[in-house]
Amino acid sequence: MYAFLHDLLSDKKGGEIFRCFSPWHFGYILIAVAMILVAFFTVRKKSASARMKTAGAFSDIAFGLYMADFFLMPFAYEMIDIEKLPFHVCTAMCVMCFLSRYVKALEPYRIHFTLLGFISNLVYLIYPAGVMWHAVHPLCYRVVQTLLFHGVMTAYGFLTLAFDEKGLSFKTCCRDLIVLAAMTLWAILGNILYRGAAGSYDHDFNWFFVEADPFGMMDTRVAPLVMPFVNIAVFFAVEMVVYLIYYLCKKKFQPADLSGKGKKIMKECRFKEFRYSPGYSDMRGARHHEELKKDENGAWIIVCYDREDFQEPEKVTTYAVSEENALQFAAFLEERNFISLSKRKDSDLFVTDYSPWDYNIIYERTDENLRRFERNVYYTISEYKKYSDKDYKLLKEVNERFKALRGEKISERVEEER
């Protein structure tokens, strides 16, 4: 069995070799881009939890590829390559991204691990110096595993940055410096522990380029004193560029008024109910209405009321909604300042719909001294108002997210006219 696996996975020397920016290299990059685009457009309209689960799956896959590599290296290289211990930034961030999804203490740093992992893996994917150095066939295990791993990690980074509700914030960029400093110290520790010779062992690593610059331009006596600080400065500068791009993209595609007007109510209230009626434009008496609210047991549900005309009975369907998804939807409405649309001026258009579409958002004041009928705060967003293109984009996104909330069907009944 070993001989078979060794022949299958070992480096293929001679013949065509993998070169930077060759058709084979562009092919691997195209695979990574395709993974990102397929995943992004498949889940972008789904719930926040579904999007983050998809992104998290890439982290799990990358970690699985990394761990499996240690078991396959004896077949491929006749040894376990110490170089692949998690002291390089790409592999270290793979481990930290994976752990930060399951260890609560690391959760505040998850987006910062992700950012550093995204940048480092993207750089390697573009310039894979490690596999080029070995001069092996483009389809041998070493090339496939290395570029697939970095492609999956790049996909995880992109999807997490795109879909994470918290996202990047300049207010917490100091954590990026902490991550970079910790990574530098970790790499220095690895170099100290594993550098040296004893018996048949003889290795001199340069993990995270803390011992020498990658291009060999710096004096070897000076490099170990300077490169740790150079690394931190360069990576942090690149991260700030990504922050800027992230901010500009968020500003460009932000579909709502984020001026903050109307947000004061959020500090005094909690989300209670969301109602949506798509309206209709004829006299048949159609009725379509949906409500997101809690049932008598405190569980979130969506109740849908549907009737095609006056002569038909109304069908009432109830769907389960997870608390996590309901609260994320409420947070989305708050983040986008959805209630600000209720302040739009009346439109000059002639009213043609018999029942215009509308949304109703209900918040409940948390002041226990108020009487029950004084606690609810209502916001109505209706059709015949002056909305901007950004407003309509927001309305479309709200519809998509609201529709994605539906879980398992709980019940369905028909109510006859009384």
Task: Report the range of poorest mean pLDDT among 208-212, 240-244, 308-312.
Answer: 308-312
Identify the pLDDT of residue 259: 42
Identify the pLDDT of residue 185: 97
Interatomic CA distance for residues 151 and 134, integer angstroms: 19
Identify the pLDDT of residue 384: 85
Query: Residue 88: is its pLDDT beyond 70?
Result: yes
- For 32, residues 6+ apart whose C-beta sits below 8 A from its C-beta are 125, 147, 150, 151, 152, 154, 155
Cβ–Cβ under 8 Å, residues 290 and 359: no
Cβ–Cβ under 8 Å, residues 25 and 127: no
Identify the pLDDT of residue 202: 79
Which segment, 7-16, 40-49, 297-306, is predicted with the most confidence on average? 297-306
- Residue 172: which pLDDT band, with cuts at 50, 70 and 90? very high
Cβ–Cβ under 8 Å, residues 118 and 154: yes
- Residue 261: which pLDDT band, with cuts at 50, 70 and 90? very low
Average pLDDT over residues 201-215: 85
Task: Between 256 and 134, name the one with better pLDDT.
Answer: 134
Identify the pLDDT of residue 374: 72
Q: What is the average pLDDT score of the chain? A: 88
Q: Per this entry, what is the length of the chain?
A: 418
Interatomic CA distance for residues 113 and 105, integer angstroms: 13
Percent with pLDDT over 90 in the chain: 59
Identify the pLDDT of residue 417: 54
The DSSP line for 277-322 is: E--BSSSS--EEEEEEEE-TTS-EEEEEEEESSTTSPEEEEEEE--
Task: Between 370 and 274, name the one with better pLDDT.
Answer: 274
Task: Between 352 and 74, name the one with better pLDDT.
Answer: 74
- Please, how many CA atoms are within 13 Å of residue 9, restricted to the half-sphere of its CB? 20
What is the SS3 string spanning 62-119?
HHHHHHHHHHHHHHHHCCCCHHHCCCCHHHHHHHHHHHHCCCHHHHHHHHHHHHHHHH
Task: Between 313 and 174, name the one with better pLDDT.
Answer: 174
Q: pLDDT tens digit string along 14-29?
A: 678 999 999 999 999 9
Identify the pLDDT of residue 115: 97
Query: Residue 255: is its pLDDT beyond 50?
Result: no
- Residue 276: which pLDDT band, with cuts at 50, 70 and 90? very high
Query: Residue 280: is its pLDDT beyond 80?
Result: no
Average pLDDT over residues 391-399: 93
Percent with pLDDT over 70 in the chain: 91
- Residue 250: which pLDDT band, with cuts at 50, 70 and 90? confident
Task: Between 214 and 358, name the one with better pLDDT.
Answer: 358
Structural domains for the chain: 2-253 (no CATH), 269-415 (3.30.1560)
Q: pLDDT tens digit string along 291-302?
A: 999 999 999 999
Task: Between 93 and 296, name the one with better pLDDT.
Answer: 93
- Residue 262: which pLDDT band, with cuts at 50, 70 and 90? very low
Average pLDDT over residues 343-350: 81
Tokens linked to 410: 């709980």
Burial (CB count within 10 angstroms: exposed 0-12, middle 13-18, buried 19+), residue 273: middle
Which segment, 50-64, 272-286, 365-379, is predicted with the most confidence on average? 50-64
Which residue bears the tokens 């490099």?
Answer: 223
- Residue 196: which pLDDT band, with cuts at 50, 70 and 90? confident
Identify the pLDDT of residue 254: 53
Query: Residue 219: is its pLDDT beyond 90?
Result: no
- Residue 258: which pLDDT band, with cuts at 50, 70 and 90? very low
Burial (CB count within 10 angstroms: exposed 0-12, middle 13-18, buried 19+), residue 279: middle
Average pLDDT over residues 77-87: 92
